[in-house]
Amino acid sequence: MAGSMRGPRAKVERAKKHVGELQATLSGLVYSHTNNPDEIVTEDEPQTGNRLYKIGEIPKIPDEIATIAGDTVHNLRASLDLLFGQLVVANGEQVGEDYLPISNTRQKFVTRCKSQIKPRIGEDAFKLICTTEAYRGGKGDALWRVHRLDIEDKHRLLFVVAYDFYSFSPMIPTGVFPDEAMEAFESMGIFLNPARPRARLEEGYVLLTDADTSTQKTDPQFRLDVSFAESEVVQGKPLLPSLVELIQAVEGTVEAFAPLFEPI
């Protein structure tokens, strides 16, 4: 049997669809003082009269986001395991409880490759496996992160947390544009990215200062960034870009083995 790339590629594509679903869900996390008065509160500075938009309560991140992230990671790990299974098939062996070797250290990775992996696959495939360096700190560190996150997701939700706001809707002074233009701007959902470092949100955190409350459009909307939390693997890293990076790493690894298989 020649083996096939169909399964590994299908799992990567499924991971991409999960990320697309996650992106749509995250784009819906929009908060304002009017619609979320507990999360976004306002306060006037006595000295300046400026309106402050602050975090009242930490916004609650839906569990759905964590489950979609977990599904993404699981499909990536499954892609790698399906790949290794097809390498076994291509070598004329029967697939058992085989999975792509990923280890915490280089020594464990090398030892397992030589003792358990090499007898199961062809020489060319073995060389490619070795070049993945799929261990913590190696060239394949991203593969190790996929492996660890997949394990964590089996025991608990991949916890996510709201960090600094990703963007906010511009407060356009009233009277500057005709009402029709203002309605068009609002329907487009225009948001601006803040030019400051990200920080974990805390109660009382100031999101925005309204320097002229008498002329500015009130009630700006805020989109919050969402990051991993409580995981040493990716703690504090933005959720969506991190998952995209993992997809790219797994897809690149899978496609590196494509020349070993006959065309489907």
Residue 7 has pLDDT above 80, yes or no: yes
Convert the pLDDT of each residue in 140-184 to its tens digit.
999 999 999 999 888 887 777 766 665 566 554 444 445 554 444
In degrees and rounded to multiples of 5, residue 237 shows phi and psi of: -85, 140
**Contact in structure between 117 and 129 (CB atoms under 8 Å):** yes
Compute and round to an integer the Cα radius of gyration of the chain: 24
pTM over 0.85: no
Of the candidates 66, 246, 240, 64, the one whose C-alpha atom is nearest the C-alpha of residue 148 is 246
